């Protein structure tokens, strides 16, 4: 049976890349199969998080899920730390995964920077915890942005090795990454070669879900571009990363394709395209932002949704961990 799962880290304000690459995709999938979406607070603390801020950020991600259109009566929405089996299964997987596999993870190399020895051990084993998040629910599909592709491959490797090591072919399914839509890798507004990211020091590089209309308009107006007008064909975007990025954002926000955007705007300059893009972005994000504000003003509704989701998630997680304990040979009370 199909089971879809994904999560977002509670590590800071969400941006347009998270919205188009993740949130909007989750909403599209909630009617297709059972959907589990969690707030990754265990993952967030792999880098320092102020405890007072972490709780608020957890609620904010949950608010973003609901404000984007996830229905807590359909999707199971929960904080990762409220289901202790994530950490329990991650330990078993730490003993299945090989150092050589983790040494190849590019995100660790990027996030640990020049001083690898000062990074937390958690940051290093981050993708192992991610494998536990997914396999705990025996998820078959994981909608994510392009940047998570390597981690998903590791999850498949861990699942396959566990199944082989313990002689249980097919016990854990090998989940498929679902990297779909016109904006699986939204780039920075200041640099067409860099991913739009929370940790970019320049706020001008990204559109935050909390930005108001004026901020969005100003950021799009100042977005880096080349001096040429938009090409007449999609192929003409090759080698023009900034133009390609803005077209992809327009396509994703309008539920169309890059080809359709080019059919409409090809030959026009950015003086015409940027205001149209800004208007579209404001129109798409303003209701989400307003609903997030409403939910955050009184967190009771969010807390109810998270508590209910955690209970539903735990019911499934307990079964998997009990099975895994038997498979591994851990003692359990008869
Ligand atoms: N630029 C992006 N384009 C498309 N999808 C993206 N995602 C992240 N950035 C982009 C997707 O958003 C989901 C949540 O990601 P996360 O919680 O792992 O956050 P992140 O990847 O840490 O987000 P950032 O902004 O990239 O943070 P930093 O700066 O800390 O690295 C995932 O599905 C991800 O693919």
Q: What is the 3-state secondary structure (H, E, C) of 170-188?
A: CCCCCCEEECCCCCCCCEC
Q: Do domains 4-179+299-328 and 203-294 have the same CATH topology?
A: no
- Which tens digits make up the pLDDT trace of 34-54? 999 999 999 999 999 999 999
Q: Does domain 203-294 have CATH number 1.10.760.10?
A: no
Backbone torsions φ then ψ of 79, nearest 5 degrees: -80, 135
- Which tens digits make up the pLDDT trace of 64-79? 999 999 999 999 999 9
pLDDT recorded at residue 334: 84
Backbone torsions φ then ψ of 267, nearest 5 degrees: 90, -15
Q: Which residues are catalytic?
A: 111, 195, 198
pLDDT recorded at residue 333: 87
Residue 179 alpha carbon to ligand 1 centre in Å: 13
ipTM of this complex prediction, to 2 decimal places? 0.95
CATH T-level fold of 4-179+299-328: Rossmann fold (3.40.50)
Question: Which residues neighbour 329 within 8 Å (Cβ) at sequence distance 6 or greater?
Answer: none
Query: Which atom in ligand 1 lies closest to the alpha carbon of residue 145?
Result: 35
What does the domain layout of the chain look like in residue ranges?
4-179+299-328, 203-294
To 5 degrees, how large is the angle CA 198–CA 204–CA 208?
Answer: 50
As a whole number, mean pLDDT of residues 200-218 equals 95
- Which tens digits make up the pLDDT trace of 212-256? 999 999 999 999 999 999 999 999 999 999 999 999 999 999 999
> Rounded to two decimals, what is the model's pTM?
0.95
Q: Does the CB atom of residue 198 touch ligand 1 within 6 A?
A: yes
> Could you give the C-alpha distances from 59 to 35, 53, 203, 300, in angstroms and in order?
19, 10, 22, 10
195 in a labelled binding site:
yes
Query: Which atom in ligand 1 lies closest to the alpha carbon of residue 107?
Result: 31
pLDDT recorded at residue 13: 86
Report the C-alpha gap between 109 and 112 in whole angstroms: 5
Residue 164 alpha carbon to ligand 1 centre in Å: 32
pLDDT recorded at residue 263: 97
As a whole number, mean pLDDT of residues 295-301 equals 96
């Amino acid at each position: 049976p199909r089971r879809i799962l994904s999560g977002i880290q509670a590590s800071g304000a969400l941006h347009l890349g998270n919205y188009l690459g993740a949130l909007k995709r989750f909403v599209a999938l909630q009617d297709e199969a059972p959907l589990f979406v969690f707030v990754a607070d265990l993952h967030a603390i792999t880098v320092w998080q102020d405890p007072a801020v972490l709780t608020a950020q957890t609620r904010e991600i949950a608010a973003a899920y609901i404000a984007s259109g996830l229905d807590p009566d359909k999707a199971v929405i929960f904080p990762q730390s409220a289901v202790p089996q994530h950490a329990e299964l991650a330990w078993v997987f730490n003993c299945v995964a090989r150092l050589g596999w983790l040494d190849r993870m590019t995100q660790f190399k990027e996030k640990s920077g020049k001083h690898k020895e000062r990074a937390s051990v958690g940051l290093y084993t981050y993708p192992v915890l991610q494998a536990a998040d997914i396999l705990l629910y025996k998820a078959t599909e994981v909608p994510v942005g392009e940047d998570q592709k390597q981690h998903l491959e590791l999850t498949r490797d861990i699942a396959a090795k566990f199944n082989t090591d313990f002689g249980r072919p097919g016990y854990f399914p090998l989940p498929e990454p679902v990297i779909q839509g016109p904006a699986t890798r939204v780039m920075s507004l200041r640099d067409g070669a860099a991913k739009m990211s929370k940790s970019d020091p320049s706020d001008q590089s990204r559109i935050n879900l909390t930005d108001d209309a004026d901020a969005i308009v100003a950021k799009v107006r100042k977005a880096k571009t080349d001096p040429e007008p938009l090409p007449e064909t999609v192929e003409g975007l090759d080698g023009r990363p900034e133009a390609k990025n803005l077209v992809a954002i327009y396509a994703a926000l309008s539920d169309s394709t890059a080809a359709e955007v080019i059919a409409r705007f090809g030959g026009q300059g950015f003086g015409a395209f940027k205001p149209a893009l800004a208007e579209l972005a404001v129109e798409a994000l303003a209701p989400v932002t307003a609903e997030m504000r409403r939910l955050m003003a009184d967190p009771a509704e969010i807390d109810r949704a998270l508590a209910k989701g955690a209970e539903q998630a735990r019911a499934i997680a307990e079964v998997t961990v009990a099975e895994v304990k038997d498979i591994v040979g851990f003692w359990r009370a008869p």
